[in-house]
């Protein structure tokens, strides 16, 4: 199972909006509404930011939103803040053998 | 407070074995599936294995199948990962993560992973 494809890096100025794409296949992202997104600061454990494509856990800022179209999921961060600078990973269930696949990861830089 | 704490990492020679543990607290452990996810130094996240709440369903990534064994002890609120025939490419921080099911039919490892433990470092080197 190959990793989902994410851009290596995305940057934006404070207050701007950025979008991170996560491209998979019809066997994973395209088949299941089970895409989740995780934020990871250096040396820290990943933190859930979005689940089931577009749902936001309690405690996560409404500046974070998710969507999906076909085989590509997206995470949008609006009103970019310095604390949003981190690595972001998407994840999708890939069915059949109970497999999950993560994205390659995107480093978000706040300019 | 929901908490997961991994232990058991360390330095091991190629071909050696190691057993990781994950102690859970703050939730009904026996009601949730559990997962192991690893991250090689400077690399991305890689799903390793999932186990359902009653251990009825167990799945592994191809990269560890036949070498790693996931298990759990619901009476002790603990998750384990027995790692045998370790290779240099198994060097990583290993995280345990609770699998959350929103209801209805869910994959064995849950619909998403939350929360995660702080991780334990496994280094395979001679």
Which residues of chain A make contact with B35, given a CB cutoff of 8 A?
Answer: 100
Mutation pick from A31, A98, A103 vs chain B, by most beta carbons of B within 10 Å, is A98
Cβ(B115)–Cβ(A48) under 8 Å? yes
Cβ(A11)–Cβ(A109) under 8 Å? yes
d(CA B10, CA B7): 9
Report the pLDDT value the prediction gives residue B108, as an integer from 0 to 100.
Answer: 85
In this structure, what token pair is assigned to residue B117?
A: 């433990």
Average pLDDT, chain A: 96
CA–CA distances in Å: residue B118 to residues B16, B70, B88: 24, 19, 22
Report the pLDDT value the prediction gives residue B107, as an integer from 0 to 100.
Answer: 86
d(CA A21, CA A84): 16
pLDDT tens across A57-97, in order?
999 999 999 999 999 999 999 999 999 999 999 999 998 77
Q: Residue A56 — very low, low, confident or very high, per pLDDT cuts 50/70/90?
A: very high
DSSP 8-state code for residue A111? -
pLDDT tens across B79-101, in order?
999 999 999 999 999 999 999 98
Q: Is A100 exposed, middle or buried (0-12, 13-18, 19+ CB in 10 A)?
A: buried
Which residues of chain B make contact with A102, given a CB cutoff of 8 A?
Answer: 37, 44-47
d(CA A84, CA A64): 10
**What residue in B sits closest to A104 (Cα-Cα)?**
B44
Task: Identify the CA nearest to B24 among candidates B10, B4, B44.
Answer: B4
């Amino acid at each position: 199972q190959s990793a989902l494809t994410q851009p290596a890096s995305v940057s934006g100025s404070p207050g701007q909006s950025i979008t991170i794409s996560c491209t998979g296949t019809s066997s994973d992202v395209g088949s299941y509404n089970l895409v989740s997104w995780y934020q990871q600061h250096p040396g820290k454990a990943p933190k859930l930011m979005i689940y089931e494509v577009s749902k936001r856990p309690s405690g996560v800022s409404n500046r974070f939103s998710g969507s999906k179209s076909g085989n590509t999921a997206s995470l949008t961060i609006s009103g970019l803040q310095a604390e949003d600078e981190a690595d972001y990973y998407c994840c999708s269930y890939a069915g059949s053998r109970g497999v999950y696949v993560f994205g390659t990861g995107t480093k978000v830089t706040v300019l | 407070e929901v908490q997961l704490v991994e232990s058991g990492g360390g330095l091991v020679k190629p071909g050696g074995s190691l057993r990781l543990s994950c102690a859970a607290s703050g939730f009904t452990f026996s009601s949730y599936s559990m997962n192991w996810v690893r991250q090689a130094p400077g690399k991305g996240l890689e799903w390793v294995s999932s186990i359902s709440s009653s251990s009825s369903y167990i799945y592994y990534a191809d990269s560890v199948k036949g070498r790693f064994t996931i298990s759990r002890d619901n009476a002790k609120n603990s998750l384990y990962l027995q790692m045998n025939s370790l290779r240099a490419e198994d060097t990583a921080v290993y995280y345990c993560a609770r699998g959350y099911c929103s209801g209805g039919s869910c994959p064995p490892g849950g619909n998403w992973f939350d929360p995660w433990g702080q991780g334990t470092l496994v280094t395979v080197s001679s």
